[in-house]
């Protein structure tokens, strides 16, 4: 083999190794939680690891700092960035509740007043001489039938409730970044929201995630799903952040998942989604 052929083989081999290393580094960076590009996944420095402490840290931030932390802008995320974060973070859904185990349902359906009455009659039939075993047998069969029927009804209703909950879909409006000075408002499924999204808050919607209020116009949100009070709370953006000593429920710049917009409008930065929400 000539020196020229050896040189060509070595050159191709070196090029192949270089490309392989580049692809490997890209794959590692895409999943590495500590990568600079993915620092939006990290929680801010807080007083603890609880959701409450983390949200208080977000509330203490000024809007500009919060946007920098999430590597976002007031114009929203690009379609590509939103899709990437959705792959990393997962859908904005709460962990579906599974139907209770069969033995849990069985234990739950046995102690009902009808079964207790039948069991008491069976005990009386045994204790009263002479014991009537035929009566006891009939009563035990009635208890068994009652438990089986109630067990089947409870299981079917729990499964139907979970299926109904998972089938409900809600659309929300978000901003999508186009250029440095332009954006567009698009309608998306609330299950596709990711941290860093810019969510438009309109009257009548239920918040699909925990949000930091960036803009507000007479924005009032009902906290009845959290604290049971029907009186709406006024929410607004704070240019200097909340005080660290402020109770989380007293913050005016944080809106929680599940609360409803009663009146007004606003713009929110999505902080936490899915099971991470408060």
Q: Tell me the pLDDT tens digit for each residue of 140-193.
A: 999 999 999 999 988 888 888 777 766 777 899 999 999 888 999 999 999 999
* 123 has a pLDDT exceeding 80: yes
Tens of pLDDT along 245-267? 567 777 889 999 989 999 999 99
pLDDT at 12 over 70: no
pLDDT of residue 263: 93
Mean pLDDT computed over 206-216? 93
Q: pTM for this structure? A: 0.65
Q: Between 104 and 262, where is the model more confident? A: 262
Q: What is the percent of the chain with per-residue pLDDT over 90, rounded to a whole number?
A: 38
In the prediction, which pLDDT does 99 show? 66
Q: How confident is the model at residue 31 (pLDDT cuts 50, 70, 90)?
A: very low
DSSP code string of 69-116: HTT--TT-B-HHHHHHHHHHH--S-PPPPPPPPHHHHHHHHSSSHHHH
Tens of pLDDT, residues 76-91: 999 999 999 999 999 8
What is the chain's mean pLDDT, rounded?
81
pLDDT of residue 8: 52
Can you tell me the mean pLDDT for 104-110?
83
Q: What is the pLDDT of residue 96?
A: 62
């Amino acid at each position: 083999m000539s020196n020229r052929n050896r040189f060509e083989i070595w050159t191709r081999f070196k090029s192949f190794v270089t490309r392989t290393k580049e692809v490997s580094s890209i794959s590692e960076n895409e999943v590495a939680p500590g990568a600079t590009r993915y620092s939006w996944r990290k929680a801010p420095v807080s007083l603890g690891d609880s959701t409450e402490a983390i949200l208080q840290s977000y509330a203490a931030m000024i809007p500009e700092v919060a946007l920098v932390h999430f590597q976002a802008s007031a114009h929203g995320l690009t379609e590509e960035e939103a899709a990437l974060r959705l792959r990393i973070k997962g859908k904005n859904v709460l962990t579906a509740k599974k139907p209770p185990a069969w033995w849990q349902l069985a234990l739950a359906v046995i102690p009902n007043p009808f079964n207790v009455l039948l069991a008491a009659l069976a005990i009386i039939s045994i204790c009263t001489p002479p014991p009537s075993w035929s009566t006891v047998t009939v009563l035990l069969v009635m208890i068994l039938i009652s438990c089986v029927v109630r067990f089947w009804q409870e299981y079917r209703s729990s499964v139907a409730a979970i299926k109904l909950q998972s089938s409900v879909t809600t659309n929300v409006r978000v901003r999508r970044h186009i250029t440095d000075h332009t954006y567009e408002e698009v309608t998306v499924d609330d299950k596709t929201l990711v941290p860093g999204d810019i969510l438009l808050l309109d009257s009548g919607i239920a918040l699909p995630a925990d949000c930091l209020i960036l803009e507000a116009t007479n924005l009032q949100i009902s906290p009845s799903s959290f604290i049971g009070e029907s009186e709406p709370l006024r929410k607004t953006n704070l240019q200097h952040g909340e005080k660290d000593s402020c109770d989380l429920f007293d913050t005016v710049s944080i809106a929680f998942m599940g609360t409803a917009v009663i009146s007004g409008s606003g713009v929110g930065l999505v902080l936490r989604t899915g099971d991470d929400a408060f």
